[in-house]
Amino acid sequence: MMSAPGRGSALLRGSYRVCTQCARPAPRPRIATTTRTTPRASAVLPLASRRYYSAEPATAQQTPTTPESTPTPPTTTTITPSTDPNPETALYLIKSSLILTRPPLLTREQTPFESAFYFYQKRLNERLTAPFRRQFYFKQDTAADLDFRIKLAERHGVPAKDIGRYNPRGRMAWNDELLTGSTTSDPAELVNKLLADAEVRVSEDGEPIAPEERVPVERPAPRRSEADEKGDVRRLDRAMERTLYLVVRREWEEVVEGVKKKEAVWEFPTGLVQTQETLHEAAARVITESAGVNMNTWVVGRVPVAHHVVKPVVDEAGGTTVVDRGTKTFFLKGRIMTGQADLAGNKHGLTDFKWLTREELQEVLPEEYYRSVRGMMDLR
């Protein structure tokens, strides 16, 4: 059986009755022998009624065409090179600088309110959780079981080690808040309680150990390091709660009235941007030339986070002669992973370096220089 499209096509092929309009051959397109010299008035709208992006096509339509005219060559624009390509005559020098940072190594200390809030959360969690089953964790009458029972008696029957004297199953369980001025939630007090509870009370034979014979547990390292105590600003293990920034001391000589003077300034590692060099490439090169190759650093992005402009010094008499060119310094942010700065053999006249916090930078850097970069610094 033939499908519907097949039947229709067969009927059309077998039909001899075709209308005269379909049988007539299609007319060929006529080629104009004359060219209209002036366009129709109705074909082109005035420019005032057109939008800005259609002004150019409208102008092209209004231009009359001449038959068999010589084609006009395209208009070319010649760019005249600068007559003085020497970059020494530029008013500004472009520099790239890297603000190398060491992130905080420790969380900041808790405020009294935060300590009390976290302590309250611990007591609340003790009330809502299931009761502690000693038999599930300790085998009866073993050394570990005897040790736990001694410590449980010292905590007045409270299984938790860091919630103080509080019974979450008693009739006063609702009273889980601390009084003002209480040191129960102080982090240092909690550390002392945990260390005392970690001491073994029972020997492997099941015999109680005298207090003078107990082995104390090693205390955690203090938050202040040896570098903090000595005030060593070159070490990276100082101010571990804060962000540190690398600054270097650059020295140079100036001749003032025939007398040589040695000048020095503290700044971030900075250098001139070379030809065909991007800002982040220049920053990576400058930090290597300044602080050596013993640091594993990472340039965070390719977009500057701050900039500093020093205007050029112009001759006061004529007002056109540049005495000292200005500088435009673009700062990029970087991170140090490992290593330490080493200024030996640097190419920028650097003599010293420091790892400083935000407040310490304000005392060392020039005022205008610090104001240009303070917006990108971390709060701590």
38, part of any domain: no
Quickly count helices (H) and strands (E) in the chain. 11, 10
pLDDT, position 45: 45
Question: Does the reported pTM lie above 0.75?
Answer: no
5, part of any domain: no
Question: What is the average pLDDT score of the chain?
Answer: 80
Nearest to 87 by CA among 249, 252, 274: 274
The CATH number that applies at residue 371 is: 3.90.79.10
Q: How confident is the model over 62-108, as pLDDT tens digits?
A: 444 444 555 665 554 443 443 444 555 678 999 999 999 999 999 99
Domain stops at, among 181, 213, 245: 213
Tally of residues, the chain: 380
Domain stops at, among 163, 181, 213: 213
Q: How confident is the model over 135-189, as pLDDT tens digits?
A: 899 999 999 999 999 999 988 888 888 888 888 888 888 888 888 888 888 999 9
Provide the number of structural domains found in the chain: 2
Q: Is residue 321 scored above 90 in pLDDT?
A: no
Together in a domain, 263 and 174: no
82, part of any domain: no
**DSSP letter for each residue of 175-237:** --PPPTT--TT-HHHHHHHHHHHHS--B-TTSPBPPGGGPPPPPPPPPSS-HHHHHT-TT-SS
Together in a domain, 102 and 122: no
pLDDT, position 298: 93
Together in a domain, 354 and 257: yes
Together in a domain, 301 and 165: no
Domain with 121, as residue range(s), is 112-213
Domain stops at, among 213, 245, 269: 213
Together in a domain, 191 and 247: no
22, part of any domain: no
